[in-house]
Structure formats: structure tokens, C-alpha cells
Amino acid sequence: MKYGFTTLWNITFAFVGPAWLVLVWMIWSSGQLKTPDEQMIYLALVIPGFVVIYLSGFIIERRHNKKQQRSEKA
């Protein structure tokens, strides 16, 4: 493989991020979120959700590397 996980993960999110933004904007502008409370709940779930998905890739990578190190020692 030519690139490491971090580089590939960041490139993926460079492409996924704008698509995610378009989807968020389409839902926002669709009229489905009628009250300010609904809009705040939507933003409170969508923005942290994107960040959690991004960070989870690094958590998974760290766990995978630890498992590999343990299997190499055995």
C-alpha cells in the first residue's frame, strides 16, 4: 500500500465531508425541520455525529495496531 491509514482516512473525509454537507443542507432546506427546537436537535446530532465518525476511524486503527503488536509477540 502506498499510503498509511491516516492519509487515506483524511482523503476519504475530504470527499465525504462535502457530500455530507450537501445532504445536511438538503434536509435543512426541505422544510422538515419546522421549529427552532427541531433545528437545534438536528444540528446537535449531525455535527457531533460527523466528528464521532471521523474520530472513530483513528480509534479503530489504534485498536487494530495493538492487536497486531500482541499477535507479533506471541
Residues recorded for the chain: 74
Residue 41: left (phi > 0), alpha (psi -120 to 50), or beta? Answer: alpha
pLDDT in tens, 29-53: 999 999 999 999 999 999 999 999 9
The CA–CA distances, whole Å, from 56 to 31, 40, 62 equal 31, 24, 10
C-alpha 19/C-alpha 61 separation (Å) is 24
- pTM reported for the whole predicted model: 0.77
Name the band, by pLDDT with cuts 50, 70 and 90, for residue 2. Answer: confident
Q: Any idea where the domains of the chain sit in the sequence?
A: 5-73
pLDDT over 80 (residue 1):
no
C-alpha 58/C-alpha 9 separation (Å) is 9
pLDDT in tens, 19-29: 999 999 999 99
